[in-house]
């Protein structure tokens, strides 16, 4: 008789291959697909999503899992694959196949409507799609089930096991601890000159610089590529096919440069997953919060650090002589670490970024729980931004239409960004202890020791450990706001002359 574990692995790999096809179709839609291809693309994506769901929830899969146990720790790879396949099966089998296909089709149509509405700054063009997606996501949450909050069922897809109430408590603490720091920096007299970043930076030179940085952190161009999209992202078919995208603004260079460092962090995680476990849980990231920690670590803790620019500023100045010819490295470093209220999340500074996430977390939770109507979202967004970030959008494109996530039906996704910031600070502190010469290595352009440490301690484990357990294994402590607050204070007080 066939080994049930070996058979299960083959079925799971088929599910993974279909997921990769979905990712490729989505990447194409966001990069090169002509606009008139939306309707047939939605049909293709719905069909593939239905096939994937059918295979993942088949009676054969249920029978195979019924024959297997995952409580024997002698083989951690086997244990991980069985445990995570069972968790995914138990969640997915509760959702009807027709709902999966309808969600996928609706999202594909909504994504194109969102892009058009955003370009025209007209919320009305996206509102009907958002309304339909919310109805479908509430239905999905009810199918999956939850104890306290339907948002739990949706967030579990991205951050397994994490509860809404716990996130709300953590975010409240983070907000409380950040408020006095933001206030102190706002009142500082020695502020950076942010206008340095709004000079003219030609796109071709930005691309050249960005590609160089992505290569420097160890991204393998033979297993990846870089393109342009409305909303920057990273997607992966396998560790040997990882796609990064960015966007360019010739009068705001950090948009592309730090956006690429961010997406490269995601890409390194994907390329660091072990090839032999392709399409199985052992070859997948453990959570999006951990995934985000890698992008934020490379973007901010490395990419916006003084040692990094002590190594790279001379080359940057050569590429942009008109913009930076009269600017010192210190002035540039301070400019890229300016803390000030901003409208756009992906361009927000490290200190206020988490407040952007709290805005989205509170609003989408209210939408899912029917405490906020879609028609009232733009005004609610503006009020939350004014309350938490201290700035109010003047149009929908810079307000509630700026993010792609809701058009994708990705409700429950946004909290992973703030969780990622917290994990990043805690992981980076652990890396500094493990690599006592890390700052000097970054200053010398030697980024491989850090990349290898992350690959060994985080990437290679796949889903062997949950996010909370992985954090304790790598850092020796449970997730806390302490390392992030300590990092912020140590970095930004000197930037503002407060040390």
Give catalytic residue positions: 263
State the Cα–Cα distance between residues 429 and 32, nearest whole angstrom: 40
Q: Kindly report the number of other CB atoms within 10 A of residue 180's CB atom.
A: 9
State the Cα–Cα distance between residues 96 and 50, nearest whole angstrom: 10
**Would you say the C-alpha torsion 211, 332, 435, 482 has a positive or negative sign?**
negative
Q: For 221-373, where are the alpha helices, taking DSSP H only?
A: 254-272, 288-296, 306-319, 321-324, 329-336, 353-368
* Residue 45 and residue 119 in contact, taking contact as beta carbons nearer than 8 Å: no
State the Cα–Cα distance between residues 489 and 480, nearest whole angstrom: 15
Cα-only R_g, the chain: 22
State the Cα–Cα distance between residues 479 and 471, nearest whole angstrom: 7
* Residue 52 and residue 22 in contact, taking contact as beta carbons nearer than 8 Å: yes
Our CA angle for 441, 443, 448, nearest 5°, is 40
State the Cα–Cα distance between residues 353 and 488, nearest whole angstrom: 12
Summarize the chain as % helix, strand, coil (round to 5).
70, 5, 30
* DSSP conformational letter for 392: -
Of 473, 48, 56, 16, the C-alpha closest to 273 is 16
């Amino acid at each position: 008789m066939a080994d049930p574990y070996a058979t299960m692995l083959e079925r799971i790999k088929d599910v993974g291959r279909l997921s990769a096809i979905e990712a490729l179709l989505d990447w194409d839609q966001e990069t090169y697909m002509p606009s008139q291809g939306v309707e047939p693309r939605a049909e293709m994506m719905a069909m593939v999503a239905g096939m994937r769901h059918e295979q993942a929830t088949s009676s054969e899969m249920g029978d195979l899992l019924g024959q297997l146990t995952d409580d024997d720790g002698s083989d951690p790879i086997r244990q991980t694959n069985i445990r995570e396949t069972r968790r995914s099966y138990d969640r997915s089998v509760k959702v009807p196949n027709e709902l999966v296909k309808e969600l996928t089709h609706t999202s594909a149509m909504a994504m194109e409507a969102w892009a058009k509405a955003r370009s025209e700054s007209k919320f009305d063009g996206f509102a009907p799609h958002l309304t339909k997606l919310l109805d479908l996501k509430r239905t999905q949450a009810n199918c999956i089930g939850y104890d306290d909050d339907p948002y739990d069922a949706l967030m579990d897809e991205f951050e397994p096991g994490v509860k809404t109430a716990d996130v709300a408590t953590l975010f409240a603490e983070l907000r409380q601890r950040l408020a006095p720091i933001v206030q102190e920096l706002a009142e500082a007299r020695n502020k950076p000159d942010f206008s340095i970043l709004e000079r003219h930076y030609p796109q071709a030179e930005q691309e050249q610089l960005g590609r160089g940085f992505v290569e420097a952190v160890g991204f393998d161009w033979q297993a990846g590529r870089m393109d342009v999209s409305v909303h920057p992202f990273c997607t992966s078919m396998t560790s040997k096919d990882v796609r990064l995208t960015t966007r360019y603004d010739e009068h705001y260079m950090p948009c592309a440069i730090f956006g690429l460092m961010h997406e490269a962090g995601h890409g390194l995680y994907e390329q660091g997953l072990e090839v032999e476990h392709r399409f199985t849980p052992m070859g997948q990231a453990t959570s999006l919060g951990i995934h985000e920690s890698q992008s934020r670590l490379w973007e901010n803790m490395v990419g916006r650090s003084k040692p990094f620019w002590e190594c790279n500023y001379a080359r940057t100045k050569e590429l942009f002589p008109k913009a930076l010819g009269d600017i010192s490295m210190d002035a540039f470093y301070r400019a890229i670490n300016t803390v000030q209220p901003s409208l756009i999340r992906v361009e927000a500074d490290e200190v206020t970024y988490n407040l952007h996430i709290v805005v989205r977390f509170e609003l989408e939770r209210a939408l899912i729980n029917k405490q906020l109507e879609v028609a009232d979202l733009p005004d609610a967004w503006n009020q939350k931004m004014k309350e938490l970030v201290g700035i109010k959008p003047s149009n929908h494109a810079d307000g509630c239409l700026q993010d792609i996530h809701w058009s994708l039906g990705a409700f429950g996704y946004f909290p992973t960004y703030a969780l990622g910031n917290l994990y990043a600070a805690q992981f980076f502190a652990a890396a500094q202890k493990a690599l006592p010469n890390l700052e000097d290595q970054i200053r010398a352009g030697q980024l491989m020791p850090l990349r290898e440490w992350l690959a060994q301690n985080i990437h290679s484990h796949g889903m062997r450990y949950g996010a909370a357990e992985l954090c304790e294994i790598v850092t020796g402590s449970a997730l806390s706001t302490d390392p992030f607050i300590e990092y912020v204070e140590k970095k930004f007080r000197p930037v503002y002359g407060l040390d």
